[in-house]
Each structure stands twice: as structure tokens, then as C-alpha cells.
């Protein structure tokens, strides 16, 4: 019986540990440098299902995640994470979400999440007024959505 109980406890703890570490469906690192790019999210486009969670890891400091005004579905509240902190967001409304890092939004630090394969707000995404390097890289990224 003791053996059975300890096995049960071990199984339970493994289940709990794995469900915790795999809570995020996508993990994106916030980086100062990746290959020859600087100030960058490790993945610029991710595709997820409705209800999935994206985890942004503050691998390097000085970054955050801010949903761009007009760059996410209507009836979704704006979202802005704290600098230097890991953050996560669970996407319950389908559509395209465009975000940037507040201090590096003109240095190309932008990203997109497509939720549930829904691109009904693509026109709004195309109308976002990016600046600097982001203005250069946004069109190709948006075309790839």
C-alpha cells in the first residue's frame, strides 16, 4: 500500500510539474541580439489556437510587450507588460494581434500572433503606422500572416 501510494504521489507530482512547465503554447524570447539583428523577439510571427497562451521570456532586460492600438481585435482590452519582466497572455479572441516593445518600436522590435487562423482584421493591421526600421520590416511580415 505504501508503495502504491508513493507511486501515486510520484505520478501526481510529475503531472503537476509538467503541466506547469508546458502551460505556454509558444515561448518567445526578448533579446538584445539574435544573429545580426538587434532588439528583437526570437519569433516574429506565431500561430496559435484560441485559448492558447504565449509566454515572453525576458532573456535580456529592457524589453516589454505592448499591443499596438488598432492592431488587435475589437472588444479585446489593451495589454502592456512591465519592462524587464517575463510576461504571458492567453488569447481567447480570434484574430491578428500586432505588438511591439515600447522603447524599441522603431528599431524593428515587433511581433504578430495569429489566433485561430482568423485574419478578419488584416486591413486594420496593414493600416498600423509603424516607424523607423519597423516600417521597413512590417510589410513582409504582414504578407506572411
Site size toward Cu ion, by CB under 5 A: 5
Query: E strand or H helix at 137, and its extent?
Result: helix 132-143
Contact map string, positions 83 to 102, toward Cu ion, x by CB under 5 A: ------------------x-
Cell of 129: 503606422
Helices and strands counted in the chain (H then E): 3, 8
Nearer to Cu ion among residue 105 and residue 114 (C-beta): 105
Cell of 144: 506572411
Q: Which of 31, 65, 68, 109 binds Cu ion (CB under 5 A)?
A: 109
Nearer to Cu ion among residue 29 and residue 118 (C-beta): 29
Task: Give the HSE-up count for residue 140: Cα atoms under 13 Å, Cβ half-sphere.
Answer: 6
27-86: contacts with Cu ion (CB under 5 A): 39, 63
| Beta carbon of residue 67, minimum distance to Cu ion (angstroms, whole number) | 15
Single out the residue of 111, 127, 137 nearest to residue 47, CA to CA. Answer: 111
| 113 part of the interface to Cu ion, by CB under 5 A | no
| Beta carbon of residue 19, minimum distance to Cu ion (angstroms, whole number) | 30
| Overall size of the chain counted in residues | 145
Residues forming the site for Cu ion (CB under 5 A): 39, 63, 101, 104, 109
Amino acid at each position: 500500500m505504501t508503495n502504491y501510494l508513493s507511486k501515486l504521489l510520484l505520478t501526481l507530482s510529475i503531472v503537476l510539474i509538467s503541466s506547469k512547465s508546458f502551460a505556454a503554447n509558444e515561448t518567445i524570447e526578448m533579446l538584445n541580439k539574435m544573429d545580426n539583428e538587434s532588439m528583437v523577439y526570437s519569433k516574429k510571427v506565431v500561430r496559435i489556437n484560441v485559448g492558447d497562451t504565449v509566454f515572453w521570456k525576458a532573456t535580456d532586460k529592457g524589453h516589454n510587450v505592448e499591443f499596438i492600438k488598432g492592431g488587435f481585435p475589437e472588444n479585446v482590452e489593451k495589454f502592456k507588460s512591465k519592462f524587464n519582466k517575463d510576461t504571458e497572455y492567453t488569447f481567447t479572441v480570434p484574430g491578428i494581434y500586432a505588438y511591439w516593445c515600447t522603447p524599441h518600436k522603431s528599431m524593428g522590435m515587433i511581433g504578430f500572433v495569429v489566433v485561430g487562423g482568423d485574419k478578419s482584421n488584416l486591413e486594420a493591421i496593414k493600416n498600423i503606422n509603424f516607424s523607423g526600421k519597423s516600417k521597413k520590416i512590417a510589410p513582409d511580415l504582414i504578407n506572411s500572416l
